[in-house]
Structure 1
Amino acid sequence: FILFIMSAADATPEVPADSTPEKKPERKTYQSIQDFGLKADRNSRHRRTMEDTHTHVDAFCGNEKWGYFGVYDGHGGKQAAEFVRDNLHLVFEEKLKTIEDKQEAFKEAFMACDEKIAEAEIKFSGTTVVSALIHVDDAGVKRIYTANAGDARAVLARGGKGVRLSFDHKANDPDEIARIQAAGGFVVMNRVNGILAVARALGDISMKDYVSGEPHTEVTEVTDEDTHLILACDGVWDVIEDDKAVEIILQHESCTKAATELLRASLKAGSTDNISVMVIKL
């Protein structure tokens, strides 16, 4: 397979031109997608460090009809996000060799990667995760398998509107509060044990009793109305609604341009976080 891991530099809100380069790596044309664009920015007016990272694997598992995509939003340092960037897709690939159900394979991969973070003694860093496997079967049916932990989000453009394919694991979610309390933790000021604003993440080993690494998973069969998939961290979603994000990206033929403009809109709307955006044309 071909693995692309890109880094992000700084940019200004007016012209985020020095963030991830717009030049795409040369690659063969695979059957899982039509186009792909990525843009990421530290948001230097508000953040001293860049803790987001991302992975894109063409011909995932050696199959040109498969593509893997992931956005990882780190906190407490970038160690956990970088570990997940380098390892989650590999663990997922191994799980797919023995687990036919791809949603179950995703769950097993998330949990196994969480264990590997603990083994690496990355104790205080964590990361939210949103990952997607785009898969075309032998009958030509295209499906999107999504998995997320935390508030990084997957949004499908369907008929010009946004359809969410992920779940925001916020600490103030009633089901998450009940789970955390049952484990002996608490939520105060919308934070787990007064510290973390997300209830699920990979890493955060020092809080693992309360911060679950188990992902929300979905499988979606792609229809004629489905044009694009957006994967992005909360630096986008805290300030841009799903439908608005879809409206922005659909104004641009190039996925790289679409990702750039969604990032630009997020900065203009007042985002104070690192920002990472993937736009995938289905």
Structure 2
Amino acid sequence: MDCFCCFNNQEDFWTDPASSIIKAYETTDQTILSHSSDLGQGGSTAVTAILINNQKLWVANVGDSRAVLSRRGVAEQMTIDHEPNTERGIIENKGGFVSNMPGDVARVNGQLAVSRAFGDKNLKSHLRSDPDIRYVDIDLDAELLILASDGLWKVMANQEAVDIARRIKDPQKAAKQLVVESLNRESKDDISCIVVHFKG
């Protein structure tokens, strides 16, 4: 499921961007939960980027969808992957548990491989949906930003993705090539990808 966060009040964003982003994520989660009868019991991770005047960048995420910035060809991870082992204490304090089956990744209640997500109604009492948020100034060193789901990041390192994207001038073609490369590497998870080029 692809998610788009809802910003109800643009004026709030200009006065307090971080609070506005948190509210947008909360509204998105509540909207998905309220439509669970139509959408099913599943959920989604998300990564969002807001670029203002090509100079100010706000990035937020829930789950293991990730944003990676390229500065002079060097990859810089902008987001935090929300993994169950990292947030085990929070999950257990909410009455959940984290299990590692032999040969498997850590999962919330033995089911979900992320500790934060939209939806997932049957696990919601043990999950968070609030985002981690980061702000950076975009200067002349910043070349591009990659936003992608875990289907790409499970088979490709941040620097590898940046190296591929930098070779292709058209950002849409760069995103497509990253998806193709992920499929060639036999990624088994969903793959969504957007590449943003910054104007020099």
TM-score norm. by structure 1 comes to 0.64
TM-aligned CA deviation for residue 98 of structure 1? 2.9
- Residue 270 (str. 1) matches residue 190 (str. 2): no
Residues 144 and 219 in structure 1, CA contact (< 8 A), matched pair in contact too? yes
- Residue 148 (str. 1) matches residue 61 (str. 2): yes
Aligned to 1:121: 36
SS of the residue 2:135 aligns to: strand
Aligned to 1:107: 22
Distance 1:143 1:97 in 2: 17
Aligned to 1:208: 124
- Of 113, 118, 132 in structure 1, the residue corresponding to residue 49 of structure 2 is 132
Deviates more, 1:184-193 or 1:95-104: 95-104
Residues 134 and 145 in structure 1, CA contact (< 8 A), matched pair in contact too? yes
Letter in 2 for 1:203: G
Distance 2:182 2:35 in 1: 34
Letter in 2 for 1:118: L
TM-aligned CA deviation for residue 96 of structure 1? 3.0
Structure ranking higher in helix proportion: 2
Letter in 2 for 1:183: K
Distance 1:109 1:159 in 2: 32
Could you report, residue by residue, the CA deviation over 1:237-263 in whole angstroms, capped at 9, with x for unpaired residues? 001000110011111111122112211
Aligned to 2:72: 159
Aligned to 2:103: none
- Of 118, 125, 133 in structure 2, the residue corresponding to residue 217 of structure 1 is 133
- Residue 236 (str. 1) matches residue 152 (str. 2): yes
Aligned to 2:108: 192
SS of the residue 2:192 aligns to: strand
Paired-residue identity, %: 33
TM-aligned CA deviation for residue 223 of structure 1? 1.4
SS of the residue 1:209 aligns to: helix
SS of the residue 1:151 aligns to: coil
Moved over 4 A (4+): none
- Of 248, 252, 261 in structure 1, the residue corresponding to residue 164 of structure 2 is 248
Aligned to 1:280: 196
TM-aligned CA deviation for residue 172 of structure 1? 2.2
Structure 2 residues without counterparts, runs of 5 or longer: 101-105
Letter in 1 for 2:148: A
TM-aligned CA deviation for residue 207 of structure 1? 1.1
